[in-house]
Amino acid sequence: MKTIPLGLSRIVATAMILTLAALPLRAAPQHGIAMYGKPALPPDFVSLPYVNPDAPKGGRIVMGVGGSFNSLNPYIVTGTPVEGLSLYTFETLMARSIDEPFSLYGLLAESVDTDESHTWVEYTLRPQAKFSDGSPVTVEDVMWSYETLGTKGHPRYRGAWSRVAKMEQTGPRSIRFTFTEPDRELALLMGMRPILKKADWAGKDFEKSSLDLHIGSGPYTVGKVEPGRYISFRRDPDYWGKDLAINRGRFNFDEIRYDYFADENGLFQAFTAGLTNSYREPNAARWQNGFDIPAIASGAVVKSEIPHSRPSGMIGFVMNLRNPIFDDWRVREALIDAFNFEFVNMTLNGGTEPRITSYFSNSVLGMDHGPATGRVADLLAPFAADLPPGTIEGYSLPVGSAERSLDRKNLKTAVGLLADAGWTVQDGVLKNAAGEPFAFEILLAAGSTEAQSIIDIYVEALKRLGISPTVTVADTAQFKERTDRYAFDMTYIWRALSLSPGNEQYLYWGSEVADLPGARNWAGIKSPAVDSLIGAMLNSANTDDFIAATQALDRVLTAGRTVIPLWFSKTSKIAHSANLHYPERIPLYGDWPGFQPEVWWYED
462-480, pLDDT tens digit by residue? 999 999 999 999 998 999 9
SS3 content of the chain, % helix, strand, coil (to 5): 30, 20, 50
Query: Any idea what DSSP says for residue 201?
Result: G
433-457, pLDDT tens digit by residue? 999 999 999 999 998 889 999 999 9
Residue 552 identity (one-letter amino acid): A
Q: Are 565 and 533 in contact (CB under 8 A)?
A: no
Provide the pLDDT confidence category of residue 36 given band limits of 50, 70 and 90.
confident
Tell whether omega for the bond before 597 is within 30 degrees of 0, i.e. cis.
Answer: yes
φ, ψ at 241 (rounded to 5°): -100, 15
Question: Is residue 75 over pLDDT 80?
Answer: yes
Provide the pLDDT confidence category of residue 13 given band limits of 50, 70 and 90.
very low
125-178, pLDDT tens digit by residue? 999 999 999 999 999 999 999 999 999 999 999 989 999 999 999 999 999 999
Give the C-alpha separation, 271 to 265, whole Å. Answer: 10
Provide the pLDDT confidence category of residue 534 given band limits of 50, 70 and 90.
very high
pLDDT (0 to 100) of residue 37: 84
pLDDT (0 to 100) of residue 15: 39
Q: Are 131 and 217 in contact (CB under 8 A)?
A: yes
Residue 89, classified by CB atoms within 10 Å of its CB into exposed (0-12), middle (13-18) or buried (19+), is buried
Residue of 172, 489, 118, 476 lying closest to 317 (CA atoms)? 489
191-229, pLDDT tens digit by residue? 999 999 999 999 999 999 999 999 999 999 999 999 999
Give the C-alpha separation, 516 to 484, whole Å. Answer: 9
Question: Mean pLDDT of all residues in the chain?
Answer: 93
Question: Is residue 12 over pLDDT 70?
Answer: no
549-592, pLDDT tens digit by residue? 999 999 999 999 999 999 999 999 999 999 999 999 999 999 99
